[in-house]
Amino acid sequence: MIIIMRPFSRHDRAFTLIEVLVAAAILVLVAATAVNMLVSGKMAAQAAWEDTVAVNAAQAVMEELLAGSLTGGERRDDPQPFPGASGYTYTYSVGTYQQDGRLVQVRVTVHYQHQGQERQLELVTLKRKG
């Protein structure tokens, strides 16, 4: 068995500096994209959680209003804090309007902060008068 050895060329010994720099740049781009996706996902999850809390709070107020007798014309424009929700920044306002002789429109607006900006969510329904 004969083994023929060829002399090492300059390219066989190691990576060049340019190859290392290109690989490092690609790695940085992939890592930055992954971190950006994680941060965006966390922000979207936080916004969805806050929206869900607002919807649940509005539904609770709406159910309480619908359980009582509504005549139309009741208004609570100044935001009220939710009972038993100390520490939360969610407030609500209520408006009822008589649509016709039989129906009353009930509107519940929940106000809350998201990333320093005022947001609001509104639920509207009709209830038979009486």
Whether 3 maps to a domain, the answer reads no
Whether 31 maps to a domain, the answer reads yes
Number of folded domains that form the chain: 1
Whether 7 maps to a domain, the answer reads no
* Predicted structure pTM score: 0.64
Whether 108 maps to a domain, the answer reads yes
* Cβ contact 96:106 at 8 Å: yes
Whether 30 maps to a domain, the answer reads yes
* Cβ contact 94:108 at 8 Å: yes
Query: 91-98 and 75-81: which strand pairing?
Result: antiparallel
Whether 114 maps to a domain, the answer reads yes
Q: Domain range for residue 107?
A: 16-128
User: What's the pLDDT at 58?
Assistant: 87
pLDDT single digits (tens) 55-100: 888 898 888 888 876 655 566 666 777 655 555 678 888 887 777 7
